[in-house]
Amino acid sequence: MTEPAACSEAPATIDGIATLTVHGAKSMNIIGSAEIRALTDALARLRAEPGLRVLVLRGQGDKAFIGGADIAEMAVLEPATAEAFITRLKNLCDAVRDFPVPVIARLSGWCLGGGLEVAMACDLRIASSDSRYGMPEVRVGIPSVIHAALMPRLIGPAAATWMLLTGDTIDAAAALGHGLVHRVVEPAELDAEVHRTALQLAGLGPQVVRQQKALLRDWERLPLAEAVDRSVAEFGRAFSTGEPQDYMNRFLNRKR
């Protein structure tokens, strides 16, 4: 795996895996418009990496993945500039969610507000046992919006309603119980677990993983019957890549 790179840079790919590090402000890794633009640009560049199979998204250090959006910047917004600001954050979350290969969020420390929205836009979330999660926007006079809309389908309406209306934070154990994160490990094991998962994904056929991610997004947007029909076509298309023939013959040869 690559060493963490600045959010304004497109890191090199090693073993099909790249790591993009969020460099926000202060120890809580707060992001404002500059960081949001830099991350969105870096993701656009990484999309063009032909050998990329997995992207790991992490915060600098271990105190926070992203501690939220910059309140100092938001405090002086007016309706028009507020919409422009939140649209930039929406575009970042969309860039993560629609990234063509799996995105793993490495979650250590705090993950709040806009940071949790970015994390929820990732495909897999692997967390440290010391991590904490919350949507505290209501406590500073604004609603949780954009990709906070993912929360009810991820953790259920009851838990989502509580978190969004109260602004309460939850610990890693609760996040795992709710289904907000996929795995929780001790802090010393976090990097190894992220790398192990990234290598597992990178070892699969690159085309089929891209297909499966695209289908997952389609299934969220499409009516059931249309989603099923779309998957039939993708199944046929898989055989044009050569990957099914290759991987199935490997399996058969191992049995022999």
Residue 10 lies in a domain: no
For tokens 């954050």, name the residue.
89
Neighbours of 65 (CB within 10 A): 32
My answer on whether 229 and 134 are in the same domain is: no
Tens-digit pLDDT profile for residues 4-33:
344 544 566 789 999 999 999 999 999 999
| pLDDT(1) > 50 | no
My answer on whether 159 and 61 are in the same domain is: yes
Tens-digit pLDDT profile for residues 44-72:
999 999 899 999 999 999 999 999 999 99
Tens-digit pLDDT profile for residues 187-239:
999 999 999 999 999 999 999 999 999 999 999 999 999 999 999 999 999 99
Residue 196 lies in a domain: yes
My answer on whether 182 and 225 are in the same domain is: no
My answer on whether 241 and 133 are in the same domain is: no
Residue 1 lies in a domain: no
My answer on whether 196 and 164 are in the same domain is: yes
Tens-digit pLDDT profile for residues 108-167:
999 999 999 999 999 999 999 999 999 999 999 999 999 999 999 999 999 999 999 999
Residue 21 lies in a domain: yes
CA distance 179 to 171: 12
Last residue within a domain, chosen from 187, 202, 217: 202
Minimal CA–CA distance to 43: which of 124, 116, 103? 103
Last residue within a domain, chosen from 159, 180, 202: 202
Residue 36 lies in a domain: yes
Residue 179 lies in a domain: yes
> What is the model's pLDDT at position 108?
98
Structural domain of 133: 17-202
What is the pTM for the complete model shown?
0.94
Residue 8 lies in a domain: no
Q: Could you give the number of structural domains in the chain? A: 2
> What is the model's pLDDT at position 12?
63
My answer on whether 93 and 220 are in the same domain is: no
**Amino acid, res. 185:** V
Question: Which phi and psi angles does 70 have, rounded to 5°?
Answer: -70, 110
